[in-house]
Amino acid sequence: MASEITYAEVKFKNASPAAVVEVAPCSRSGDQPTALQQRFTEWRCVSAVPQGKGQGWTCCPKGWKRFQKSCYYLSDDKMPWAQSEQNCTGMGSHLVVINTNAEQTFVTNELRQSPIGTNYYIGLRAQVVGQWQWLDQTPYNETAAFWRTGEPSNVIAEMCVVIHSTPDIHNWNDVPCERHNRICEAAAVTV
């Protein structure tokens, strides 16, 4: 069986060691494209290795923000939590799961720069009052949570979690699952 070869046209915007290019990520022979790759045609890539040390680009869809090995999308519209998760899934991602202080700091800084909304759903919610669960089954760790002072309220009317665009790093709040913006997260594509 002959293997398929996929090419991409790369146009360098500058020649610095941390060159940023726009490229259509392609998979190596035999690799199946990720759900994220199947849904986006324009990408922004940065060199993943020092210049001259081999090849490798870390790519996110155009308009998404990259941090470490993930891509983040900040929505400009509002919808209920369940629809927000479906929207992210439809783009090959999921509502953001915040695992570290560094990731929380990154997301908070990005939200500060966004003029769109003040509350963004994250992938944390409760099926039972006070029993918080990440949608990807990552264990909930109270010491790695970033609740605002006095939160969570732990009441039946507030079973979803938003992150505020306030500069305070402890900016999570439990809220009704009605209508807020959302942050989607997906693994960055390496080509």
Q: How long is the chain?
A: 191
Asked whether residue 160 carries a pLDDT value surpassing 90, the answer given is yes
Express each pLDDT in 16-74 by its tens digit.
Answer: 444 455 555 544 434 566 778 888 889 999 887 666 565 688 999 999 999 999 999 99
Q: Is 30 helix (H, G, I), strand (E, B) or coil?
A: coil
Per DSSP, helices labelled H in the chain are: 35-39, 81-90, 101-112
Query: Cα dihedral sign for 108, 112, 113, 117?
Result: positive
Who has greater pLDDT, 146 or 18? 146
Closest CA to 81 of 158, 168, 167, 186: 158
Closest CA to 155 of 131, 130, 180: 130
Residue 71: strand pairing partners: 66, 186
Closest CA to 163 of 83, 109, 115, 127: 109
Express each pLDDT in 76-125 by its tens digit.
Answer: 999 999 999 999 999 999 999 999 999 999 999 999 988 787 999 999 99
Domains and CATH numbers, the chain: 11-190 (3.10.100.10)
Report d(CA 98, CA 120) in Å as an integer. Answer: 13
Report d(CA 106, CA 136) in Å as an integer. Answer: 20
pLDDT value for 111:
94
Residue 39: strand pairing partners: none
Decide: 38 and 147 in contact? Cβ < 8 Å.
no
Q: Model's pTM, two decimal places?
A: 0.81
